[in-house]
Amino acid sequence: MFVIGIDLSGPSNHKDTAAAFFELAGEELKLLSLESGLSDAGILKLIEKTNGFPLTIGIDSPLSYNDGGGDRPSDRWFRREMVKHGLKSSSIMPPTLTKMVYLTMRGISLAALVERVRTDIRIAEVHPGAAMMMRLSEKEKEHGLLYKKSAESRTYLLQWFESQNILGIPQEQSMTPHEIDAIAAAMAARDWIVSFPKALFPKQPPHHPYDFLC
C-alpha cells in the first residue's frame, strides 16, 4: 500500500506545491520520494507509479465549499477543537475566503481529476498543522507553531517524525514548510487508514464528499 501527502497551493503556484510519497508497512511510513514544484500533471504522474496497488491520499486543501459561502460545518468544528490544542483559529479559514478561493478551486478539481484516473483511491482532506499539534507534546508545540518561519523548528520536526514511525526522511538537508506539511499530511492519512486519526469530521455527501481529518 502507498500513501501520498500533498501540500497544495493555488493553480498558478506550483512552486509551493509539495508531495511526500510513502510505502506503508504495518504502521510505518517509508519515504520513497519528496517532490516540490508540482503541477496537477506532476501529481498524476506520481500517482501513476502506484497503479495496481492500494493508494490513500491526504490533501491539504479544502475539497468542498459551503453553498452560500462561509464556514462549512467541518470548519467550525475543527476550529473549536484545534484552538484547544494551541493552534490559532485563523489557521482554519472558510474555503470561499478571498485568499482561499483559488486553492479551493484547485483542490476540488484535483480530487475529481484523481478519481477520474483511478476510482479505487481513498482521498481525505487533511490539516497538517493540526496533525502535528495534536501529536506534539506540550513542550514541543512551539515547533508546531514556528516551523513555517523557523529553520530550527523544521529541523526538529524532521527528527520528531521518526518518533511517529515515519522513516527515510533525510536529516541532513533543509526542507521547506511545504515539504514538512506534505509529510504531516501523509502522517494524518496513514492514521486514518489504521483507524486512529486524532480528529475526524465525517464526510457529508453530496456537498462535502471527503472526510476532514488530522
Local confidence band at 89 (pLDDT 50, 70, 90 cut-offs): confident
Residue among 96, 73, 80, 101 at smallest CA distance from 208: 73
pLDDT at 172 over 80: no
Whether residue 110 contacts residue 8, with contact meaning beta carbons closer than 8 Å, is answered with yes
Which pLDDT tens digit goes with each residue over 8-49?
999 999 999 999 999 999 999 999 999 999 999 999 999 999
Q: Percentage of the chain surpassing pLDDT 90?
A: 91
Per-residue model confidence (pLDDT) at position 65: 98
Residue among 125, 90, 87, 135 at smallest CA distance from 104: 125
Per-residue model confidence (pLDDT) at position 78: 93
Query: Domain ranges in the chain?
Result: 2-198
Per-residue model confidence (pLDDT) at position 196: 84
Per-residue model confidence (pLDDT) at position 171: 82
- Which class is 2-198 in CATH? alpha beta
**pTM given for the model:** 0.96
Cell of 13: 503556484
Which pLDDT tens digit goes with each residue over 105-155?
999 999 999 999 999 999 999 999 999 999 999 999 999 999 999 999 999
Per-residue model confidence (pLDDT) at position 195: 79
Question: Mean pLDDT over residues 203-212, rounded?
Answer: 98
What mean pLDDT, rounded, does the chain reach?
A: 95
pLDDT at 173 over 80: no
Whether residue 60 contacts residue 6, with contact meaning beta carbons closer than 8 Å, is answered with yes
Question: Mean pLDDT over residues 42-64, rounded?
Answer: 97
Question: Mean pLDDT over residues 190-207, rounded?
Answer: 94
Q: Which residue has the higher pLDDT, 65 or 173?
A: 65
Per-residue model confidence (pLDDT) at position 122: 98
Cα distance between residue 197 and residue 100, in whole Å: 25
The CA–CA distances, whole Å, from 15 to 5, 38, 61, 130 equal: 16, 7, 16, 23
Per-residue model confidence (pLDDT) at position 45: 97
Per-residue model confidence (pLDDT) at position 174: 82
